[in-house]
Structure 1
């Protein structure tokens, strides 16, 4: 299934994408794509809905983040060997973990605001993993059973804030609009192998990132198992699993975003995002 949330910010309602690409309203069955709706038994009920009898959604409504009421937005850094190399970083012995604030979450096609005074706002296409069945101390063998689905994430980052201002990475990662998620949540049964997905990103038509999840240092299963040692994972938690090479920081010389540019990015089978950058108003 491809699950989606449509409507203005804070007023999104749940929908499903039928096999012809038509949006169908499922708000008569669930209130949101969030929380317990992401449990395996709840998703199974949605699979049995009479999709072609559901109300069509006409027009081109705004698409919101594909998961609502996100509890934790957890990210993994330097998780592609070739990306670590382009940034001059050593291959990590364990996953590098940081957080994006949930206030950074926006829809996949919403504008991205460059923070006031920013000179190093950057892009990162990433595979997003949404937890369905929660748990702690999850084994690698069982880890993928805890996945509700997958999505596209743009882990937008302000490199000066992240790397040059002291402290943790988090303040360069969690600015408002720095977490576009979606367009769809594609349920895990539709993705045969999350470690064999092409992903890419363009800025103003120039392709900077072109990678595949097979080059991850730590697999999705390893990441879920690792994180569950330090925190309980809960339905609706989102994990962003790292980016392939081609970020602005890794260019020679580095290239960063400025107002008025367009990012387009996508992952095989998970859809595309498109964002325009705007300056933060004073």
Structure 2
């Protein structure tokens, strides 16, 4: 019996080695391995039945076959993956930029953090030094008082009156004209306000003070003067008039203009005709026009 059991074990080992060798071969040999395993299984069953070998069972052989099949499938998959592999050649990556590390920098003079001005971030020693400098510095002396023409200090009432003389620095200290000059300036301003009558093709907006006399004048205003310019040959031009061509007032300049004079004369005649048609000595003609023709 002992010799028979040894022979059965040797046969089983030989069969397993044959199965492993067949699984390493090509995929076509799998069918042969299965047939040989079936035949070997049948022969082993017959031997086990004949010799009564309880140690080598069918389950043990089935487990060995399953392991062999798994190993064969794994090797086939590896072979297929090796065949399907494609070699991809990638371009060399460009050299990376070096890191811009400036190193240790001194503390900046300006701190742009939102909490930069808080007392927690300010140096207390610096604050003490600043306060000491502020307190130790002498205060500037008070400015000397303003003096009037007589050499006396100006009173508050005089300062208030002086403020009313000009429009202030925001308006370039535009002066307020004196009351004695208002009639003369009123004529000049009225002549400028009649500029819409000089050119029939230009229309201007009516001003607030127009038609109100001297009371309609603005509080602060001034009439400028054209500064003479040096012409190439010291001759007269629109910017540099000769003394004979210069006029004293704006009205004289407008009257001297030939085109403006012609237009003003035509408008004057039109007004005179309309007024003359309704004026003195026209009653009979108007009554005759009202009568019937029959």
Shorter-chain TM-score above 0.5: no
Give the structure with the higher percent helix: 2
TM-score by length of 2: 0.16
Give the structure with the higher percent strand: 1
